[in-house]
Structure 1
Amino acid sequence: MANDMMEAYLYEMNTLLESLDEMVLGAEDRKTFSQEDVNEIFRIMHTIKGSSAMMEFDNLMTVAHRIEDMFFIIRDKGMEAVAEELRPELFDLIFQAIDFFKAEVEKLESGASLTEDIDSILANIKSFSNKIQGKADDEEPAAEAKAEPEAPAASEAGGHTSSKFPFGIRVFFDEGAGMENLRAFMLASAVRDSVESESDFDYYPADVDTNSETSAIVVDEGFSIRFLTDELRQKALAVVKDAGSVGNYNLFEYEAPEAQETQAAPQQAEPPKAQAAAPQSTPAAPAPAAQQGGNNNANKNQKESLISVNLSKLDELNAVVGEIVITESMVTASPDLEGLKLDNFTSAARQLRSLTDQLQDVSMSLRMVSVSATFQKMRRIVRDMSKKLGKEVNLVLEGEETEIDKTIVDSISDPLMHIVRNSMDHGIEENVQDRIAAGKDPVGRIVLSARHTGSEVIIEVIDDGQGADDEAILNKAMRQGLAVPGVDYSHKDILNFLLMPGFSTNVEVTEYSGRGVGMDVVKSNVESVGGTVSISSEKGHGMTTTLKIPLTMAIMDGMEVSVGDSVFTVPINNIRSILKMTNGDVIHDSTKGETLRVMDNFYSVVRAKEFYQMEKGQDEIDDGIILWVESGDNSFCLFVDKLIGEQQVVVKPLPDYVNNYGIRNYGVTGCTILGNGDISIILDVASIYAASQAG
């Protein structure tokens, strides 16, 4: 149970912090927080405070509490209270808090000890709170006393009445429930979301979130929640009925001392529903409640339509679906069935294929997520580096809605971060006058884009900076022994040095680069998920780094082809057309290269038999089949012996010891098991093209 609570807490924290980061970045661009922003930040900090209190992470709770207090002041006074010259400090302060929370979450994820010293960040929050209230630094901000209620008067029934909030609900939790103070606080958080404004109600004891000694009061006297109107109380009553661990409750009202105080008869709480009990058992409860803003049936249905699933369970599901696909293929393609006329079996087999296709599509769609969250993280990097490096840069995001496998999204986050940092540090000019002299906009520009091209996603990072200096790169490569003096390297060869281990053009070690951890790490990370990295650049005109990433690594539609006795699988999404050509259609050039004319364009021919140096296979174009294939912007004609047929295949990664020989560079991306149990090599069209051109 403890592990489940921790998982829920970490998931909630990461989700809230991503949302908060994006919100503050947008507000900084507008140079102000909207009223909605202020309310949302207040709610997020309230949620973090409550969840951290339940998990007994006191320092996280305290920081969230102080920021909540600060935004209570801003919400009460309006953004007008924050002078324009103070707003950059406010944004920096919130980013400092976000970084603090992220660092603590990372420590929790790695099992490290949490930070004990939070005096610095608390002092900054207190100082800023006093600035917007016109107080001295040594004074306590007024917001810290906001939760102090008027002195309550205990009614005969034990409810704590209030003349300001005359309509109350007194709640008792199940006997022995434990942590009654935190259960009370979570209930108050849920009630807060059912009313229009926090000023519509209060509760007693008021410090249940920070004072564990209030548990005894809640056990003995109950937890009193008090409202301005009976209508508000009725709305909150629905929340109380649905809350977990509530044993019973009663209603009470305040009347003037000379009047007879009335009290409704105690009512037994309805049994808590299974779905409603969840918020009391996990710290992740406040977030959904804050988003729903009510307790009607429509909102409940909406909340229940989304669940979080452990990624390992999806991995297990995909593995099972993959085995089902293989087994289905083995059954329907069994050699024992050859020559038999089995109409009923054939019909059932077609239906089975249709169902396995649907099952595969559904299982894969569960893992597909947009790159939006990863792209948004880059905004923060550009923002921080702009300030520290003194460079004004705009980040443009394109194709954020593009979806790829969750595992791949996680794998490319660090490579993208490094590429963007390179563009900021190496690419964008330090001197604005240099940009102006080159006819560029004084403000630098970095474009981060994503788009689908069949079976892969193309992600590009484009900057309009100073570009690559071939001479500087070559000299550095020679000093590091990567290049040989006297050899005439092409522009492309020189750019490839940037992808080699330990290469860096920075003279000094900075916070962002120059430590010898360079683009080679990007290359290896991207290749680990079956992708490729390429760089293009022209001195003075910026640099483009292109990542080609497969949509998924699990199941794909492939065309089985044979060359001699071997079977290869070509991804269907890479095949533009299948052609029957003759020897007379082949055009020979002076370098003994072969070209075919297809739809008024000329494409080079790659013979699979020669490319893989195989003994068996067709040599005459008349006797084989031409596959017109493409990957990204590159197209060519692949010559094979014959087609076997389309097949849905499960992609199996190659063993590490095979990858060590650089086999990926020769068009082999993985393998699959065929219906008859044979192994088929899966071809990577992009790598075949690159290798054939290099050869």
Structure 2
Amino acid sequence: MSAGSDSILDAFLYETNTLLEQLDSIVLAAEQQDSFSQEDINTIFRIMHTVKGSSAMMEYNSLMTIAHRAEDLFAIIRDKTMDIVPEGLRPELFDLLFQTIDFFRQELEHIENEQPLTENIDTLLQKVNRLIEQIRSGGQQLPEEAAAQGEAAASAGSGQSEFPYGLQVFFDEGCGMENLRAYMLASSVREVCSENDFIYEPEGVDSDPSTADQIVESGFTLFFRNQADRDNAIHSVTATGSVRSYQAVDHSASAAAPAAPAAPAPAAAPAPTPVPQQPAAPVAQEAPAPAPAPAPAPTPVPERPAAPAAQEPAQPAKNAPAKQTQATPVSQKSEGGPHHKESLISVNLNKLDQLAAVVGEIVITESMVTASPDLKGLKLDAFTKSARQLRKLTDELQDVSMSLRMVPVSGTFQKMNRIVRDMCKKLGKQARLTLVGEDTEVDKTIVDSIGDPIMHIVRNSMDHGIEENVQDRIDAGKNPVGEIILSARHTGSEVIIEIKDDGQGVNYDAVLNKAIRNGLAQPDVEYSHKDILNFLMAPGFSTNAEVTEFSGRGVGMDVVKKNVEEVGGTVSIASEPGVGMTTTLKIPLTMAIMDGMEVSVGGSIFTIPIHNIRQSFKISDNDLIRDATGGEMFKCMGSFYPVIRMRDLYQMEGGVTNIEDGILIWLDSGENSYCLFVDELLGEQQVVVKPLPSYLNRFNIKASGIAGCTILGDGNISIILDVSNLYTYAQ
């Protein structure tokens, strides 16, 4: 695939995903109100129109077909307002839209993974078609007698005197789904003439896939009461995709002979009527020179090639390039009111990564220049002034480059509404999701990484937390409707994300018993609630007795912990039986550049993330408390914290050994809080995080408390410590 094709595909995926996110939000909000506003209806219509057009341009026929029928559905609702949808059909309408969104997302995932698209879309298409017919019939079930009557009429000769004017249509060879294409054609014809003025053969094309073979063999034939209706229907035929040819067929001898001379006069009068029909006009414009002739011709002829049909995808292709070049969320309302498209652009994340890397190199180079050993002892006022200005500009450049990567967590948070909605229906529970701090911004890479962990936690709250029996909640003095609160807030250099539910909380006895059965705990040891909660994040741990769609597979909180730790974050759990459970994620705002404290141990320099440092102390040997095994503890604010000596931990040569000669740093990371003994503090420094070479992974270097490295101003390398893993490594 060429670079140009790649860029078009990326634009298509970006635009369609953006539209689906907007559509999901609209349908979720509308379901709460049990109705769509007129603005929502117009927006959904435009979304489906856009997806149809861009999918046709990309030749994704399954996407185009479903979007086209969904567009037809909302065209009806748009013209007649939401009142046309009976209240009894509205839940089915919402469910159908969610199924459509899921189908689109599944297909986009196939495209991204270079997998073939779904060919069999009969089931979903039939649901859309059936709902359209039910809305048209006022919510009544479609009578089987009508289908039987149509079939009887067709079998009686397909040319009864009341429907003497036939139109036989053949679709492109190998196009597939001929029965559904025929049904879509019949629906288009129904827009042109009354439903009582024509029948078609074979019947049951919307519900019987076997009719596809019959259509391939004998074509799809429509029969009309009068010739004018047939002539008008030709416009619908020419506007339908994949039509190879069509042919006028008259089955009444009395009508066939006089029809030729008599038809032109009356047909000429209604000729302007079909012109405004949307399918006809673009086709006439797009068709090659000889093609427009068949469409307006009212007189039946033996056979006409349906050349314009092949041009159908060209209509959306006209608008598609403009949308693709924008590739921004604004483009989803391109057909509506005024929007400032020029204020937004879409930038590939790889380019932002490259920008961050270059800015990082600039920061390092600036430090190397200003801290050069060659400048020591020299009084250079002009240089010092220029260096200060350079540092100011470097800091501003760094802030701007980081802000480009910062995106609000609202997109990730909003997706959880759908999770809660679907699980409420499938589990028979009542719950609502409350979002707090949606505008909190985090690095784009981190936002993408925390989506799955948040989803796992929300699903756990729905499955394990919220009570299934509403009466149990009422008896406990709770609101019958459970609540899950998803919140985000900034605290300096990190963001705190909390998922809190008011469910039944953790059953500590059940968790401990399961941990003992799994060999994670000893039966004769007394564990604190904090220790028991940590078992929940052990690999393969699940308290569900049976596997369900949502839980019981032993995959969940361990995945959450792993994913969060991969972006430098921590996970902690708190729970009170009968009250609820809170899961807290502490995540750095960005992984590229961070504020660190430089410390020295012997001849080596280490960097500790500032957000992990609570305090530093100068203490004497008498302030330490030693246990029977020789371990050292330090008492601070009424609590005891273990002391880890960096020199001993990494078996380093050099470095101080007397506690009075060094300094103690109180560190905090999630559930771990301890003191680290080093030689001295060198000062705070903004550092560029560099990943360790991949070949070091085989030594499990991250488990040793090392998160990465950075280059100092003098060109030396400083190891960045992973405060959480460092404590685990020291145990």
Native 8 Å contact 2:619 2:663 kept in 1 = no
Native 8 Å contact 1:466 1:541 kept in 2 = yes
Native 8 Å contact 1:51 1:283 kept in 2 = no
**Matches for 1:219-298 after TM superposition, within 5 Å:** 279=322, 288=331, 290-291=333-334, 293=336
Equivalent residue, structure 2, for 1:394 = 432
Q: CA deviation at 1:486?
A: 2.6
Native 8 Å contact 1:47 1:286 kept in 2 = no
Is 1:595 matched up with 2:635?
A: yes
| TM-score (normalised: structure 1) | 0.75
Q: CA deviation at 1:437?
A: 2.7
Change over 3 Å in CA distance of 1:479–1:638 after alignment to 2: closer
Is 1:486 matched up with 2:517?
A: no
Is 1:88 matched up with 2:161?
A: no
Native 8 Å contact 1:278 1:285 kept in 2 = no
Distance 2:520 2:670 in 1: 30
Equivalent residue, structure 2, for 1:546 = 584
Is 1:362 matched up with 2:376?
A: no
Deviates more, 1:570-579 or 1:423-432: 570-579
Equivalent residue, structure 2, for 1:2 = 5
Q: Choose the corresponding residue for 1:337, options 375, 384, 391.
A: 375
Equivalent residue, structure 1, for 2:224 = none
Native 8 Å contact 1:181 1:208 kept in 2 = no
**Matches for 1:472-483 after TM superposition, within 5 Å:** 472-483=510-521
Q: 1:614-641, CA deviations, whole angstroms, 9 ceiling, x for partnerless residues?
A: 5644456664456566667988776543
Native 8 Å contact 1:501 1:520 kept in 2 = yes
**Matches for 1:608-647 after TM superposition, within 5 Å:** 608-609=645-646, 612=649, 616-618=654-656, 623-625=661-663, 640-647=678-685
Q: CA deviation at 1:144?
A: 3.9
Distance 1:54 1:285 in 2: 18
Deviates more, 1:335-344 or 1:446-455: 335-344
Q: CA deviation at 1:489?
A: 2.9
Larger radius of gyration: 2
Q: Choose the corresponding residue for 2:354, options 307, 311, 316.
A: 316
Q: Secondary structure of the residue that 2:288 maps to in structure 1?
A: helix
Q: 1:665-691, CA deviations, whole angstroms, 9 ceiling, x for partnerless residues?
A: 675432211122222122345666x65
Change over 3 Å in CA distance of 1:47–1:208 after alignment to 2: farther
Counterpart AA for 1:90: L
Distance 2:616 2:275 in 1: 73
Q: CA deviation at 1:612?
A: 3.5
Distance 2:502 2:58 in 1: 47
Distance 1:681 1:338 in 2: 26
Native 8 Å contact 2:571 2:670 kept in 1 = no
Q: CA deviation at 1:405?
A: 0.9
Q: CA deviation at 1:465?
A: 1.8
Equivalent residue, structure 1, for 2:287 = 215
Q: CA deviation at 1:384?
A: 0.5
Native 8 Å contact 1:609 1:618 kept in 2 = no
**Matches for 1:434-583 after TM superposition, within 5 Å:** 434-575=472-613, 581=618, 583=620
Counterpart AA for 1:122: L
Q: Secondary structure of the residue that 1:439 maps to in structure 2?
A: coil
Native 8 Å contact 1:453 1:632 kept in 2 = no
Distance 1:357 1:422 in 2: 42
Is 1:22 matched up with 2:25?
A: yes
Counterpart AA for 2:457: I
Change over 3 Å in CA distance of 1:367–1:101 after alignment to 2: same
Change over 3 Å in CA distance of 1:617–1:399 after alignment to 2: same
Distance 1:21 1:413 in 2: 16
Equivalent residue, structure 2, for 1:347 = 385
Counterpart AA for 2:345: I
Counterpart AA for 1:373: G
Counterpart AA for 2:288: A
Q: 1:242-291, CA deviations, whole angstroms, 9 ceiling, x for partnerless residues?
A: x9999xxxxxxxxxxxxxxxxxxxxxxxxxxxxx9951876969962734
Native 8 Å contact 2:499 2:582 kept in 1 = yes
Q: Choose the corresponding residue for 1:653, options 685, 688, 691.
A: 691
Q: CA deviation at 1:564?
A: 2.8
Q: CA deviation at 1:400?
A: 0.9
Q: CA deviation at 1:531?
A: 1.5
Native 8 Å contact 2:438 2:487 kept in 1 = yes
Distance 1:97 1:283 in 2: 25
Is 1:46 matched up with 2:49?
A: yes
Native 8 Å contact 2:56 2:317 kept in 1 = no
Q: CA deviation at 1:482?
A: 2.7
Deviates more, 1:625-634 or 1:62-71: 625-634
Q: Secondary structure of the residue that 2:130 maps to in structure 1?
A: helix
For structure 2, the 5+ residue unaligned runs are 148-182, 194-238, 242-273, 297-314
C-alpha RMSD over aligned residues? 3.9
Native 8 Å contact 1:563 1:608 kept in 2 = no
For structure 1, the 5+ residue unaligned runs are 150-179, 183-200, 225-242, 247-275
Change over 3 Å in CA distance of 1:87–1:415 after alignment to 2: same
Change over 3 Å in CA distance of 1:102–1:245 after alignment to 2: closer
Distance 1:309 1:381 in 2: 29
**Matches for 1:413-452 after TM superposition, within 5 Å:** 413-452=451-490
Native 8 Å contact 1:51 1:284 kept in 2 = no
Distance 2:290 2:535 in 1: 68
Q: Secondary structure of the residue that 1:670 maps to in structure 2?
A: strand
Q: 1:179-219, CA deviations, whole angstroms, 9 ceiling, x for partnerless residues?
A: x999xxxxxxxxxxxxxxxxxx986772578x799532599
Counterpart AA for 1:389: L
Distance 1:635 1:496 in 2: 15
Tell me the percent identity: 61
Q: CA deviation at 1:573?
A: 4.4
Q: Secondary structure of the residue that 1:361 maps to in structure 2?
A: helix
Q: Choose the corresponding residue for 1:115, options 104, 109, 118.
A: 118
Q: Secondary structure of the residue that 1:394 maps to in structure 2?
A: strand
Change over 3 Å in CA distance of 1:577–1:288 after alignment to 2: same
Counterpart AA for 1:215: A
Native 8 Å contact 1:455 1:574 kept in 2 = no
Q: CA deviation at 1:309?
A: 0.9
Native 8 Å contact 1:55 1:283 kept in 2 = no
Distance 2:361 2:595 in 1: 15
Native 8 Å contact 2:601 2:647 kept in 1 = no
Q: 1:367-414, CA deviations, whole angstroms, 9 ceiling, x for partnerless residues?
A: 111110011111101100110010111111111111111111111111
Q: 1:2-59, CA deviations, whole angstroms, 9 ceiling, x for partnerless residues?
A: 2221111111110000010011111111221111111111111111111111112122
Q: Choose the corresponding residue for 2:279, options 193, 202, 206.
A: 206
Q: CA deviation at 1:101?
A: 0.7
Q: Secondary structure of the residue that 1:593 maps to in structure 2?
A: strand
Counterpart AA for 1:563: V
| TM-score (normalised: structure 2) | 0.72
